[in-house]
Each structure stands twice: as C-alpha cells, then as structure tokens.
A and B are shown apart, each in its own frame.
Chain A
Amino acid sequence: MKSVEDIVKIRDRRRKYNHLRFRENEPLRPLQDTEILICSSTGCSSCGTDKIIEAIKSECEKKGISNKVRITKIGCFGLCAMGPIITFKPTDIFYTKVKVEDAERIVNEHIINGKILEDKIYVNEDGTKAETISKFNFYKKQKFVARKDLRLISPDEIEDYISLDGYMGLIKSLSMTPEQIIEEVENSKLRGRGGAGFPTGKKWRTAYYEKSSEKYVICNGDEGDPGAFMDRTILESNPHSILEGMAIAGRAIGASRGIIYVRAEYKLAGEKLARAIESARKYGLLGENILGSDFDFDIDISLGAGAFVCGEETALIRSVEGKRGEPETKPPYPAVSGLWGKPTVINNVETLTNIPAIILNGANWYRQFGTENSSGTKIFALSGKIRNTGLIEAPIGTTLSEIIFDIGGGVPNGKKFKAVQIGGPSGGCVPIEHLDKKVDYESLKELGTMMGSGGMIVVDEDTCMVDFAKFFLDFTCDESCGKCVPCRIGNKRMKEILTKICEGKGTMADLDTLEELAHHIKNTSLCGLGQSAPNPVLSTLRYFRKEYEEHIKNKKCPAGVCKNLISYEISSKCIGCGLCKRGCPVSAIKGEVRKIHEIDPALCIKCGLCESKCPVRAINKIR
C-alpha cells in the first residue's frame, strides 16, 4: 500500500532517473550513453522486434558495449507502415523498416561510429529526409492527447507512466466530489469515442443518479471495425491510462468494480493489461482503500470471443454475463440497468484514456482542442490506398484533406484519390468533393457517414464502389447476431442485390428495392449494428449512383473490378513470348511461339495474372 505522497515521490524520482528519455518541450541533455527505444506494439512486433532486440544485444556484447546501451520496448509510434521502428536517445534518430540483418550495422556504424544509416531514414512524400521525429510531415499536424505517452514509456513499467504524471488525475479525483468530477467531464465536452459520440459526462451523471449498492464501469475494448486498431495500441502501449480512467469513472459514479472487455485475439493487449492491473494493485492504485482513501476499486479482464456485435454495449454486457452476445432494446440504458441489472457505465478505450488528462488539466485545457461541439482530439486509423498507413491523432475539426494528404501522405503510386470510407462498416464513404469538410460528429453525419471508431479506408480510382459497398455489407451480414428481422434478413437481401448488380444482372428496379431496404433496416433494426449497416450502400448510392447505373444499364464496371463485366484482350504488341500462356491457371491462352496469342473468353476467369506477366504490356483489361 502506497500513499499519495509515495506516488508523487516516485514520479519526481523517476523523472530524474528517466533522464535518458526524451520529453516533449524539454531540452535534451547530451549524454554518452545510448538508449534504443523500440516499438513493441503488435504491428512492429509481428515483424520481429524481439529478434531485432536479441540481435542488437548480442552485437553489443560482441563489441563489449552492453553497459553503454539500453534497449527499451515502448509503445506505438503510429507509423505502422514503416515498422519495425526504432529510435535512439538522446540523438532522436528515427529508423524505419528495421530488420534483424541491420543489427550489426546499427551497432557498428550507428552506435560506435556515430554514422547514420541513410537507407533506414524515412523519406517524406515531398522527398525530404526525416532523420528525427520533428522532421516528419506525418507528425507535424498531429496533436497528441490520448496518445501522448505511447512512444515515450514502456507499457510494462508502471513507474514510467507515473513519471509522466500518470495516476495524478486519479489522485486529484480522490480529493474531488463525484459531482465535481462529473462536472469537469461534462464541461470538457468529451464525447464517446466508440462510435455514436454520446456525451461521456451525461452518461456518468445518469449512472451517478441511479441508486444502487452495486455499480460497474466497463471498458469496451471490443474493437472490431476492419482497419481500426487504435484501441488495441492504447491497450498495448499505455494500459495504465485505461486503468486510471476507469478508476476515476468508478469514483465518479460510485462503482467499486470495473471490467475490461477485450477480445481474446488481442493477446498482447490482454497480457499488458493483466500485468498493469497487477502492478497497479501492488502500488495501491487499485483495490481496497486506494492510496489510503475510502475509495475501493478493482478491475477484472473479460475476454471476448471476437464477435463484432459485442462492441454494442448491451451485447457486450450479455457476453460478460456469459450469455450469447446479442443486443437488447434500449431503454433501459446500461447506465440505468446494465451488468447483472445494475447501473453500468460503458466507455470505449479511447474515451477512457482521455479522462486522466481532463481531470488533471481541467476541462478548459481539454476544450482548447477540437471544435465547439466536439472537443478534444480523435485517433484515426489510416489504411487502404494511403502512403502512411497507421494511427494518427488530430484535433476534432481537422479537415479530411489535412488528414489524408498532409498527415497521411496521400494516395501512393500516382493514383487518383476516389473516396474515403470513414467509420468502418457502419460508416459511409466521402468523395473527393467533400475533402474540405471538417471531421467532427455533426459534419460527418451530414455527409452520410459517422465518426465510428475512427477508421479511415482510402480508396483510389481502381476501386469499384458497388463492390466496395458489397465488401462492407458482407462484413455486417457475417457479423449480424441474427436477432432482429431487418438486420438478419434485410442485410442478406441487400447483399444479394449488390451481388446481382456486380454480376451485371441487376435492374434499375433493384436500385429502388435497395434503397427501400436500406432505409427500412436503418429505421427499424434493434441495435446500432443494424441501424448503421446500410450506410455504405446509402452513401455510395448518394455519391456514386452513376457507377451503379453503369453496372446495370451498360453492364460495365468503370473501375474494372467486377469480373463478370470485364475481359482481357491481347493486342498486336504481343511478342509471343508465351509467359502469359504458362502463367494462366486455367489454360485459357493459346498461341504459338513468336506469334500473337489469344485468350479464350469462355475459359478466362479474369484473374489478371496474364496482364501482370506480360513484359510488353500487350494484354489489356477491357472495362
């Protein structure tokens, strides 16, 4: 058991001891020793960070400099496309795409000889080299609140977190009344980051007013949108911020138990959380009489089996209770009757990670970021046809073009931007003409999409929007729990119609049916999954209706994706090399050596292999 004073002492001591680490806005002190910070989040570690660490360690041993070099696994840098990432302290040099084979050069050339490995340096989209973070265009327009500690601390070291004012929010909340805490959160205008954007303070107040001897705080870590992984990295990189946020929530509503619902596939996140909970208990930051106060709060982990629908709060509660993960009708809302029928606050991971900073720095500080109605920052997961795939954090209200082009680096390979799908399968797409729009809850809704979890999938000219809508509908059909009629059967029927259109068998009447069904499902489904499932269809119909009509009326797929609507042809440029013939998996290509080859359309499965094999670009896709 530690006291408030103990924790403050730890912070101050660690700050000094932490002299190797770089802190924002603090001048670095030149040192002779080197610290290597290496990202240990899933993206980088799946590319072998552990092996890289081993290799560097053994190389250091060989050279006898082990005592001069410290290697620390830290959290996510966000630039996942460039992983594994390592940085050096105190020089701040930033290496990307590091491999095990680079270990020897890193030790010999970089550490011992002080020479920068030019090939490991990131190049901005404008061609300039970024040796240190400050030179990255990627980081320039970002603002870190939720992710501020991620690339500075080790998720396994509670004192690392404490050294950066960790748990100071909780300490402050212990001297506040629940009313004051809730007021602070309300004033911060923080809105739920899980999707719907419900005001967090209002949720807490509802649960606070409920009279019950038992209340619960649940952290929703059932992140399931394709292409979204911000919660995962927070859980992996900074688990203590979640624990602190939950404890503050517990203090505010009068709960003494918290549950973190995290999907079992997030193995690393689960491990980091378990370790964090254990050390928080050891430091008296969780458990009975936290830091000697009268406040008890402890946290358990509940592993989810991976159903997307369990991200819906009522389905999540059922899943925690050990039942089939199916949503229930609201009202009653969980804040009134949730887990085991008790008042329960369910907040998303990203929401909770904002809480400690809001309490510590105050609502006004938090409101300086973002817009009037949506304050703070939001983490977005950039993926698809975008240069800087990864996680970014920007103030709410940043424009789409800033996010996609200035931070994301735009569309690679000289292709043209076509649209961005925001909010995963529940969101909608936004075409190029709306790139000047601000990203906030209201504007996105007007555009026919939603903030959702903050996933952004960028597509270029080679994407068929009908096929794209079908992809997301495929996902929601798979992930629908099957409880209510509109979602269970309606989405299936929509998917069937889209398949028909993609196969060139659609009729114009199908478009009417599609729209009728989409609106019906949106209006009458039981939960958020069903209510938002038709969004990809509705938004593509809104912005790319012509593409649908092209499929139906002219039996053409302008993007050249729908296989039934394209064909391949060999032009007179053919030199008869036979490469295409040998590569064809269904032997659809005939021709003699040095003579022009031919494709049998009846056999061709339009896989496109021949096109990629042809050395003289004689094979063309006919759209």
Chain B
Amino acid sequence: MKIKIDGKVCEANEGETVLDVATRVGVKIPTLCYLKKFGPTSSCRMCLVEVEGQRGLVTACSFKVKEGMNIKTNTPAIINARKINLELLLSNHDFNCTSCVRDGSCELQALKEEYGADESKFAGEKINDGLDESSPAIVRDNSKCILCKKCVAVCEKMQEIGAIKETKRGFETKIACAFDTELNRSSCVGCGQCVLVCPTGALRESIEIEKVEKILSDDSLIKVVAPAPSVRVAISEELGFNKNYPQSAYLPTLLREMGFDKVFDVNFGADLTVMEEAEEFLTRLKSHKNLPMFTSCCPAWVEYAKKFYPEILPNISTCKSPMMMLGAVVKTYYAEKLGVSPQKIAVVAIMPCTAKKKEARQKNEQQLQDVDAVLSVREFVYLLKKKKINTKKLVPSGYDSMLGESTGAGVIFGASGGVMEASLRTLNDILNGKNNLKLDYEEVRGLNSVKLASVDLAGKKVNVAVVSGLKNVGELIDKIKRNEIQVDFVEVMSCPGGCINGGGMPIKNSCTQNYSRVVEPRMKEIYALDKINEFRKSHQNKEVNEFRKWNAKTHGTKLHTIHGKI
C-alpha cells in the first residue's frame, strides 16, 4: 500500500506501524520507551505524529498504517508537544549531567538538545528514591529514571527474571524490586541486559573506575590487565581506529598506554578452561554422574541456577570461569615465577559483563580477590577518553608472554556456541589421540537462541546443546527435566548471543536496539579472529600446557570451585 509521510509517498505493508515505515524510509521520529521486540507501550509520548482524520495526536509506535494515510511528523504542534513532554521529563530528572556516566550517550540529553527543551520550565518536586548500590554488578538510580520500562520488559520477557517492576502509581511510580527490597536481595542475576536498554543513567554497572585509577597510580603494585574475548570486537564501535589492522590488534597497546605493566589475556584463561572442562566432562561421561554437564563460564547463569534451579547445581561444571582462572593463575603461578607476594600484584579484567563484577568479589583461600577490579567495556572506553589517548596513532602490539598466549578456541568464547565448539575441538582430538581433527562445528554457531547437535567423538555419540538468553535457558532446563530432550553437555550464556551482547558492552541507541544488527557483526569478527590464528585448539596453547605441568606438580592453583546454594 502507499502512504504519505511528510508529503512523501512511501510504500508500506499491512500490519506495519507508522514508526516502522518512517524508520525504514529514513524519517526520524524520536522514541524513548519503544523496544521493537516487545511491542509499543506508548508511554513516553515522544513519537507523537499527526494522522489526517484522527482526533489529536497519535503515537507512531502503536498506530498501524492504512492505505492512503497522510502522516505528518514535524508540524509546530507536534514539535511543541514533544518539547513539553521532554520538559516534563526533565523537571523530574536529576540533570547533573556532567557527572553522569551517560553524559554524551544519554538519549534524553540528546533529545533535550535537539528540541531545545528547558529543564527548569516546569520545575517542581522531584522523585528522590535514593541510589540502590547494593549489588556489586548493577546500580539503580531512580532519580534519573524516566519510566520507559524497557528494563522491565527485558528483565521480565527476555530473561524471564522479573527482578524489577514498576510499583506505586501516579507521580510516585517507580521501578523497584519486589517489596522494595535491594537489588542484591532480589532475583536479579546481574546479567545487565537492562543497562543496555536504559536510555539514561538510571541503570548502570557498578562503577570501578576510581578503584582502577587507584591501582594504576600505586607504584608498589605490579599492574596486570586482561581483556575478555568479546572486548576486542567492540572497542572500535566506541573509539574508532585506523583500519590498517583488525581492531583487536590495538587492544594490548591501549592497555599499556593506560599504564598497565603486564597485558595478559582472558583468552588464556579460556583455553585453560577448555582443558579443565574437557577432563571433567570425560570423567562424568565415564562415570555417568551429574550429566548433562553445564558450562560455568557465565556468572549470571551460575547465579540464575542458584536462584531458580538449585537442584541443577551439581550438574554445573566445577571449573572457575576463564577470568577467575586467569586471576588465580596470576596470583599463584605468576607470583611464584616472579618471586613476589600475591598482594603485590593487582589484576584488572576488562569484561563485556556486569555479572563479572560480582563474581570477582569472591575471595580465594587467602581471603584475597583473584581479580581486583573489573571494568566494563564502557568504563574502559571512558578511562581511555579521560586519558586522552590518541586512538588514531596507535601501533598494534601483542600480549605479554607466560599468560598471554591464546588460540582460536579461546577467542570464540565470546560468542554463543564458542565454548562448546572449543571444547569439542579438544575433546575430539583427545579421544582420538590426534592433533589435527575437525575444527569447525558450524552446527553450534549462529544467532539462534537454542542450538542442538549430535556430535561424534571417537565413535561415541554425544548430544550437545547451546543456549543463550535466560528465558531460553529456563525452558531448556525444564525440557531436560521432563526428559523431552537427551543431552550430555550444555553451554549456557545468559545474554542472548553470548558475551558479545553482554551487559557491559557499548550501548547502542536503546530504542533501535536490534539484536541481529548489533550482535551479528561482532559474531562475524569473533570467528574471523579464530580463523587467522595459527593454533585453533586449546590443547595447542603452549603456555597453558606449561602452566598445567607446573600445577600438576605443585597443585598451587585452584581452578575449580563448588557452586554452593544461596
């Protein structure tokens, strides 16, 4: 059908909304509360447009197109209505923008500037609900909340956690946990998907920038840093490098520029995890105990299991996550090699994740943290910008030896299916006693939320499942419990698509948050990085093997943990 938007005739399809068509043909209509996947809520009233023959203004996000419809999106009346709505929102918003983590990336701020909205025009009482900093992963700040409720939608519908929800009504309405309890005592698992859709600074990771700055300025410390696999495929989205090399090549240089002494790699931890997990899986397979085995790399998933499926905890691999393994290795093996006390080493991890911040708080046997601080990609970028590092003039460099080597198997941990593929590569080789067998397991790759495959490992058929997004995780576990599917090994990632869509990744415009558009390019890059590696199997990682030899002798590093009930 044909419709008219601002005088231009455009092609439209049955069932599309005005916003759908406008977005497709490049007419910008502002939105704050719209999340495509979960349908319109029409609460922010920013996408108001005029439709000929309709009384008053209608919301483009919900209004379906009809043949011959004549739509106007920018009349003075529309602009004024949007402006007043912005001014009303601003009148109840803590606009200490300069000290806000979202300064510059805040959608409300951008619209305020675009529409010239006056934040003090309707000055009045503001809702002041205090800061919820109880969770080491996520901070909620209702004084910045504009009640778009996108966080509620992802928590409730995408992740099926339902940790937060609107309570009270009228001006008093606010987002809160059940019984107004703290986030840390709620069902929140810290995945941070809510942070990705927050248009303002009302939801953010628990900020550890100061902690890292303190570490960096302490001369008595050996400052170790390690980035996660997925970090290297997202930093250029925020920074922009010269395109001579893949963006990942610049990452170690950036970290050194920031003042870290040693740049190690979480990919090393990933390779190590594959080795440990493969051994564990084979043991379980032989003894038929605690099968299917679930992976344990994702801390939000482990937290989810503790809160929603405690009965399944014995089935989760006892392996620490790659980050925690690396931290433990640094504080034992590396410290011994260096001949310094572990207290003298500070480990900072750069992660795509908010839940990792909570995971890092776990104490080791010496009551120390193996990982001292965790920065999200956003915090990392913030620090870089603060340090005014010129990203255009960077020269690529590599990771430091001893704990910096990694294989292609390590890097694919960043995408959903990667952990499974890495494990399969190694398991197949081990069981066949060879080193050159199958590399690509296409059946566990891709954007699908659940991927099931049957794999032949030295004549033994092993059923594997790869699942991402906690709603899908819950459904899969239920199926397994009802014996509807038979699986031996399950990879679980809390965030849809895996760590490349983690809660600590750069925030795209939350209104146009589009899963495939954000995740797909990052996923492609992950597998490209895998391909250019000389070694693509974890058991080919020499530094890992060297460490494991040392650890077999000394048992100096604890790589396993018990996932206790809450």
Contacts and interface: CB of A to CB of B under 8 A. Distances in A.
B474 interface: no
B122 A329 contact: no
A478 B170 contact: yes
Contacts of A484: 42-45
A324 B42 contact: no
A504 to B, nearest CB: 18
A494 to B, nearest CB: 10
A194 B168 CA distance: 26
Given A329-B62, A482-B169, A489 B89 contact: yes
Interface stretch (A87-95, A251-259, A349-357, A516-524): A516-524
A493 B88 contact: yes
Given A520-B81, A523-B56, A481 B173 contact: yes
Contacts of A513: 122
B173 A488 contact: yes
A236 to B, nearest CB: 28
Interface in B44-60: 44-45, 48, 56-57, 59
B45 A526 contact: yes
A482 B173 contact: yes
A525 B45 CA distance: 8
A445 to B, nearest CB: 13
Interface residues of B, number: 33
A490 B84 CA distance: 9
B169 A480 contact: yes
Given A479-B169, A524-B81, A489 B88 contact: yes
A486 B169 contact: no
A416 interface: no
Contacts of B124: 492-493, 496
B166 interface: yes
Interface string B115-140: 00000001011000000000000000
Contacts of A264: none
B91 interface: yes
Contact of B44 (A479, A481, A485): A485
B67 to A, nearest CB: 16
A496 B125 contact: yes
A240 B64 CA distance: 40
A474 to B, nearest CB: 10
Interface in B3-55: 40-45, 48
Contact of B92 (A307, A477, A489): A489
B172 interface: yes
A331 interface: yes
Contacts of B245: none
A483 interface: yes
B45 A524 contact: yes
Nearest to B149: A483
Contacts of A516: 84
Interface centre among B48, B63, B122, B169 (most CB of A within 10 A): B169
A523 B57 contact: yes
Interface in A454-494: 477-486, 488-493
Interface centre among A516, A517, A523, A525 (most CB of B within 10 A): A523
Contact of A324 (B56, B89, B166, B171): B166
B62 A493 contact: no
Contact of B91 (A329, A479, A489, A520): A489
A489 B122 CA distance: 9
Nearest to B86: A485
Q: Which of A478, A480, A488 has the most CB of B within 10 A?
A: A488
Interface in B88-126: 88-89, 91-92, 122, 124-125
Contact of A490 (B40, B88, B166, B173): B88
Contacts of B89: 485, 489
B84 A520 contact: yes
B41 A479 contact: no
Contact of A493 (B43, B57, B85, B91): B91
Contacts of B122: 489-490, 493, 513, 517
Interface in B219-245: none
Given A488-B173, A493-B88, A524-B48, A482 B125 contact: no
A524 B91 contact: no
Given A477-B171, A492-B171, A523-B57, A485 B43 contact: yes
B300 interface: no
B48 to A, nearest CB: 6
Interface string A323-340: 010001101000000000
B170 A524 contact: no
B90 to A, nearest CB: 10
Contacts of B63: 331
Contact of B147 (A329, A478, A488, A520): A488
Nearest to B40: A329
A499 to B, nearest CB: 10
B124 to A, nearest CB: 5
B171 A489 contact: yes
Nearest to A482: B173
A478 B44 CA distance: 20
Interface string B380-419: 0000000000000000000000000000000000000000
A480 B125 contact: no
A27 B45 CA distance: 62
Interface string A204-224: 000000000000000000000
B170 A477 contact: yes
A331 B64 contact: yes
B387 to A, nearest CB: 39
B171 A329 contact: no
B40 to A, nearest CB: 7
29 contacts: A324-B165, A324-B166, A329-B40, A329-B42, A479-B170, A480-B170, A481-B169, A481-B170, A482-B170, A482-B173, A485-B85, A486-B84, A486-B85, A488-B171, A488-B173, A489-B89, A489-B122, A490-B88, A491-B171, A492-B125, A492-B170, A493-B88, A493-B122, A496-B125, A517-B122, A520-B85, A523-B57, A524-B84, A525-B45
Interface of A: 307, 309, 324, 328-329, 331, 477-486, 488-493, 496, 513, 516-517, 520, 523-526
Given A484-B45, A525-B45, 15 more contacts: A329-B40, A481-B170, A481-B173, A483-B173, A485-B45, A485-B85, A485-B88, A486-B85, A489-B89, A492-B125, A492-B171, A496-B125, A520-B85, A523-B56, A524-B48
Cβ-closest 7 pairs across A and B: A482-B173, A480-B170, A489-B88, A329-B42, A492-B171, A329-B62, A496-B124
